Structure 1
Amino acid sequence: MPTLEPTRPVRHRGTSPAHCVVLELAAHTGLTIDGPNPWDPQVHDDRFYRRVVRGGSLGLGESYVDGWWDAERLDETFCRLLRPDARAAVRRAIRSPRVLLPAIAAALAGRARPSKAFEVGERHYDLGNDLFEAMLDRRMVYTCAYWGGADTLDAAQEAKLDLVCRKIGLRPGDRVLDVGCGWGSFLAFAAERYGAHGVGVTVSEEQVALARERLAGLPVEVRLQDYRDIDPSESFDHVVSLGMFEHVGVESYRTFMRVVARHLKDDGLFLLHTIGGNHSVRSTDPWIGKYIFPNSMLPSIRQIGRATEGLFVVEDWHNLGAHYDRTLMAWHENVERAWPSLQDRYDERFRRMWTYYLLQCAGLFRARGAQLWQVVLSKNGVPGGFASVR
């Protein structure tokens, strides 16, 4: 995980050109710098303005971790900042000459690096199982929960896992492949509740170690393995991928779908559970890419469609995006509650970074700037049609 150099607060009198630019852009989002609302950014260091103009979202995030600004309701700050209409207004505003060049520099900084399959495992998922055990539900599900009828995170995550099982029509004895299995939460649920067998692959050593411990005695196998390295001869009744496709990269979407098709039986179903973007992109937010999920990007409907064309029939497309806001807020509350037991290993700068990550994402989903899709696909079409499950 990259580190940021400690800095000391600096306050100056007067208004710089960068100050004017930030005030202008903030006005298009409904935010007031040093305003009275709990979502208004409170600036503690005047270097913030130049850093944001020069660095865009990377400068915004790094200056927060450095303590140069705060907001009482950071989730609401980002909800206003990341609304589709606010983004459009800011895009129009940056066409002015004094903002255009910094905006181009920020965009160039966001270009994706070549894919490295195991890097996200090493830099994110291997941070420490203690952090994720504190943050997540009892099954350690690190994807969007399903809150329909649920009032606790544990119940909402079990409802999501059950929803996946029902969508693929899981039956006792079925063999299922989980691509990007995390700590094995889906495999355990599928085995315990549905009598299924399974194989899960992940690129995180920490996840494999804990998953094998937690799933001991169940008819499942968890491997430290890239999905492209699964034995070509292995076949499965069903395939699921819950929150892993965001790490694949657009250049490999087609490869990913071909691998799934190769391992899926002709009459099986594949459920893809992924965060999705409203526009087709080829990179991620620069701050998220540098500090949270390296080499990640959000697929669009068009990109998923192109990747599946000729390989699958799309049977069902379900948008659960609004459920991710509540999930992320629950994760943030869990981390804050557990912080006294975590602070000996994770310092205050890490806490600010993790807070920024979780609440930025909560605001993004609340603003409907990103979605969460569950897509059910078959190789040859379900005879008579697929019965949608909600």
Structure 2
Amino acid sequence: MAEAAPRLSALAEEMLGFPLPVRIRAWDGSEAGPPDAPTLVVRHRRALRRMLWRPGELGLVRAWVSGEIEFDGDLYEALDRLAGILWERDTGTGGGQSALSRIAALRDPGLRAAAREFLALAGPGLPPPPPREEVRRRSGVLHSPRRDKAAISHHYDVGNDFYELVLGPSMVYSCAYWDEGAGLEDAQLAKLDLICRKLALKPDDRLLDVGCGWGSMVLHAAREYGVRAVGVTLSTEQAAYARKRIADAGLTDRVEIRVQDYRHVADGPYDAISSIGMAEHVGAARYREYADALYALLKPGGRLLNHQIARRPVRDEEAYHVDEFIDAYVFPDGELAPAGRTVSLLEDAGFEVRDLESIREHYALTLRRWVANLEEGWADAVRLTSPGRARVWQLYMAASALSFERNRIGVNQVLAVRTDGSGGSGLPLRSRDWRG
């Protein structure tokens, strides 16, 4: 008799203390749960073994990446319904645990009994190996140049064709800047131009783009503002792609791309530095080093535009843990910090912070467009990478879009200046005219 789904639904309610907010369809064809809700499809009981051997978010993600579970229905609605179980803390910003984290602890005797029944439903077998897309072993000192290069390679050396499919022709992998009726390409162009205006770039300024990606920022700044630019990245695939774009644009005399750690750049001073979506890789322990290095590379009066994702602060910062899914599959060793901490560390390094603009909603719009690109080109995405890698990106981007929409994370552009000896900033008197 088909009965797996009713048993799973009942067990979930017992362990959570409330009904599961999605419907379940099990491998034996049975279904249970709210009839009008998105359906969690459990294709194989092996998914249950993953959750038992690695309780919490990571077990579920491994089942997702392996194709053992999926959602039938709107992915955003399903993730939104499950947010309180998977990610959201029960005490707001107080540092509490998600419901799934509490279950993983299995401290309650009733939960342990439910886990034994769950084990019987999962069937016998050893723990399945993690999907190959997961980062396995890491060596070296956290955020050392060698380990950072390996982490960057895991995320960015997936294949330029895959990134073209997801990001579109702009090849900009950071939050776009949207206006009513704009498409993705126009919104990304608007973001690049906004940064150029904030930095008050002018012909023959020296610009350093830290974490230059596929070269979009340095190309735009050289073509539209006449700067001389250097872009640095740790990804060899990005560098090769950026150099070809620069050659095709006839800008090799004005733009140089290096495979180089920002800590090894030694040819300052620069008039301006852009750091767009790179500082999330720096890490809390190294952030002051990052700020000091950029400060030293700027001339007096030089400007920094730091575009960075931020998380909400928690009361107990020492107890904060990096998201397991993101760390294992997306951004190894990546760390998010509250905006206030970032500003403080930039000021500690000597910068004068002149402006902070939150563009949180813009990133949600950007991610939804990237998810649409991925889903529209799904067959090609799987061919270019793997089914598991495509599923990693689908889940990561959709869940991130909801996180921006629900204010679990944000993104900020911080404009900071290394003032000269007389306090000069090099900025126009009415510098906020960039807003239009």
TM-score, with normalisation over the residues of structure 2?
Answer: 0.76
Counterpart CA distance in 1 for 2:290 and 2:189 is 27
Alignment partner for residue 202 of structure 1, among 233, 236, 256?
A: 233
**Counterpart position of 1:213:** 244
Going from structure 1 to structure 2, the CA distance change for 1:93 and 1:316 (only over 3 Å counts) comes to closer
Going from structure 1 to structure 2, the CA distance change for 1:42 and 1:67 (only over 3 Å counts) comes to same
Going from structure 1 to structure 2, the CA distance change for 1:25 and 1:195 (only over 3 Å counts) comes to farther
Counterpart CA distance in 2 for 1:96 and 1:351 is 26
**Counterpart position of 2:385:** 346
Alignment partner for residue 258 of structure 1, among 292, 296, 305?
A: 292
Going from structure 1 to structure 2, the CA distance change for 1:178 and 1:43 (only over 3 Å counts) comes to same
Alignment partner for residue 192 of structure 1, among 187, 208, 223?
A: 223
Partner SS, residue 274 of structure 1: strand
Whose relative contact order is higher, 1 or 2, with alpha carbons under 8 Å and at least 6 apart? Answer: 1
Asked whether the equivalents of residues 207 and 274 of structure 2 are also in contact (C-alpha less than 8 Å), the reply is yes
**Counterpart position of 2:412:** 373
Alignment partner for residue 285 of structure 1, among 311, 320, 323?
A: 323
2:193 maps to 1:162: yes
Over the matched positions of the two proteins, sequence identity in percent amounts to 35
1:249-275 Cα distance to aligned partner (Å, 9 max, x none): 111100000011001111121100011
Counterpart CA distance in 1 for 2:198 and 2:294 is 17
2:76 alignment partner AA: D
* 1:290 Cα deviation from its structure 2 partner: 1.0
Going from structure 1 to structure 2, the CA distance change for 1:15 and 1:76 (only over 3 Å counts) comes to closer
**Counterpart position of 1:109:** none
1:235 alignment partner AA: P
Counterpart CA distance in 1 for 2:360 and 2:297 is 29
Counterpart CA distance in 1 for 2:162 and 2:284 is 30
**Counterpart position of 2:279:** 245
**Counterpart position of 1:70:** 70
Partner SS, residue 306 of structure 1: helix
Counterpart CA distance in 2 for 1:269 and 1:170 is 9
1:132-174 Cα distance to aligned partner (Å, 9 max, x none): 1111131200001111235211001001001111111111111
Going from structure 1 to structure 2, the CA distance change for 1:96 and 1:347 (only over 3 Å counts) comes to closer
**Counterpart position of 2:114:** none
Higher mean C-alpha displacement, 333-342 vs 237-246? 333-342
**Counterpart position of 1:121:** 152
Counterpart CA distance in 1 for 2:220 and 2:84 is 36
* 1:388 Cα deviation from its structure 2 partner: 6.3
Asked whether the equivalents of residues 76 and 363 of structure 1 are also in contact (C-alpha less than 8 Å), the reply is no
Counterpart CA distance in 1 for 2:322 and 2:238 is 24
Higher mean C-alpha displacement, 142-151 vs 291-300? 142-151
1:35 alignment partner AA: P
Matched residues, number? 371
2:187 maps to 1:142: no
1:351-382 Cα distance to aligned partner (Å, 9 max, x none): 22221122121121122211011011112364
Counterpart CA distance in 2 for 1:96 and 1:268 is 46
1:90-146 Cα distance to aligned partner (Å, 9 max, x none): 74675998654589xxxxxxxx98222201222111110110111113120000111
1:281-329 Cα distance to aligned partner (Å, 9 max, x none): 6652111111111110112123213321331111111111111111111
2:345 maps to 1:300: no
Higher mean C-alpha displacement, 16-25 vs 321-330? 16-25
2:279 alignment partner AA: F
Counterpart CA distance in 2 for 1:168 and 1:41 is 47
Going from structure 1 to structure 2, the CA distance change for 1:363 and 1:96 (only over 3 Å counts) comes to closer
**Counterpart position of 2:127:** none
Give the unaligned 5+ runs of structure 1.
Answer: 1-9, 104-111
Query: Larger C-alpha radius of gyration, 1 or 2?
Result: 2
1:290 alignment partner AA: A
Asked whether the equivalents of residues 172 and 196 of structure 1 are also in contact (C-alpha less than 8 Å), the reply is yes
**Counterpart position of 1:35:** 34
**Counterpart position of 1:5:** none
1:27-57 Cα distance to aligned partner (Å, 9 max, x none): 6xx6566434454534445565674474322
Asked whether the equivalents of residues 83 and 368 of structure 1 are also in contact (C-alpha less than 8 Å), the reply is no
Counterpart CA distance in 2 for 1:22 and 1:144 is 38
Counterpart CA distance in 2 for 1:317 and 1:81 is 33
Asked whether the equivalents of residues 306 and 415 of structure 2 are also in contact (C-alpha less than 8 Å), the reply is yes
Alignment partner for residue 273 of structure 1, among 307, 323, 339?
A: 307
Partner SS, residue 17 of structure 2: helix
Asked whether the equivalents of residues 74 and 360 of structure 1 are also in contact (C-alpha less than 8 Å), the reply is no
Partner SS, residue 148 of structure 2: coil
Partner SS, residue 327 of structure 1: helix
Counterpart CA distance in 1 for 2:18 and 2:416 is 42
**Counterpart position of 2:432:** 387
Counterpart CA distance in 2 for 1:275 and 1:162 is 19
Partner SS, residue 268 of structure 1: strand
Tell me the C-alpha RMSD between the 2 structures.
Answer: 3.2
Aligned ranges for residues 18-29 of structure 1 at < 5 Å? 19-20=12-13, 23-24=16-17
1:228 alignment partner AA: R
Counterpart CA distance in 2 for 1:50 and 1:197 is 56
Going from structure 1 to structure 2, the CA distance change for 1:161 and 1:95 (only over 3 Å counts) comes to closer
Partner SS, residue 212 of structure 1: helix
Counterpart CA distance in 2 for 1:74 and 1:151 is 24
**Counterpart position of 2:259:** 224
Counterpart CA distance in 1 for 2:380 and 2:204 is 41
**Counterpart position of 1:7:** none
